[in-house]
Amino acid sequence: MLLAIFVAVIYFGVAKLGLSLAFVHANVSPIWPPTGVAIAAVLLLGYRIWPGILLGAFLANLVTPVPIAVAIRIAIGNTLEALGAGLMLRSLDFHTSFDRAQDVLKFVVAALLCTMVSATIGNLSLALGHVAKWQEFGDLWLTRWSSRWAPRPKYRKVDFAVPD
């Protein structure tokens, strides 16, 4: 129980940092370090740590301008993301020490796939909760998904002037 509270506090603090960088939408940040905290917690402490991840994610989303039901759904998506990554990595005989090149590859694959869960649930929650427009779904999804494994600014369409 104490470890779960500790994880929740760390998750919340790191989430506040990530949310301070949000510019696309108040609830979608181009950098989301809590994913790493959550996956590390699952890998190092086991699946029983999920209540701490859920609580930290819920509180982090609760302080944004979204209804409580939306914050709950987003927190569930964040929790499932970490549990899914942990399950996938454990089933692939992943070594948390990263002492083999194949462990790096496994981690990257798990990060790419499992972060889609959180991005999809999070953006569906925002759109269904009328907090974000459906027309923004693609941009928000891409920003949310890429922020979990490769922090970068929001993708923007750029017009290039081509000389004649």
Mean pLDDT of 81-104: 93
Range name among 46-50, 122-126, 137-141 with the lowest pLDDT average: 137-141
Q: How far apart are CA 121 and CA 115, in angstroms?
A: 10
Q: How far apart are CA 44 and CA 40, in angstroms?
A: 6
* Mean of per-residue pLDDT scores for the chain: 87
Mean pLDDT of 78-82: 96
pLDDT at 100 over 50: yes
Question: What percent of the chain has pLDDT above 70?
Answer: 90
Q: Name the band, by pLDDT with cuts 50, 70 and 90, for residue 151.
A: very low
Q: How far apart are CA 72 and CA 66, in angstroms?
A: 10
In the 8-state DSSP scheme, what is residue 26? T
Mean pLDDT of 24-46: 89
* Four-way CATH pick for 2-149: 1.10.10, 1.10.3470, 1.10.287, 1.10.1760: 1.10.1760
Residue 145: per-residue pLDDT: 86
Q: How far apart are CA 30 and CA 140, in angstroms?
A: 9
Residue 155: per-residue pLDDT: 41
What ranges do the domains of the chain cover?
Answer: 2-149
Q: What is the pTM of this model?
A: 0.84
Helix (H, G, I), strand (E, B) or coil at 20: coil
pLDDT at 32 over 90: no
In the 8-state DSSP scheme, what is residue 66? S
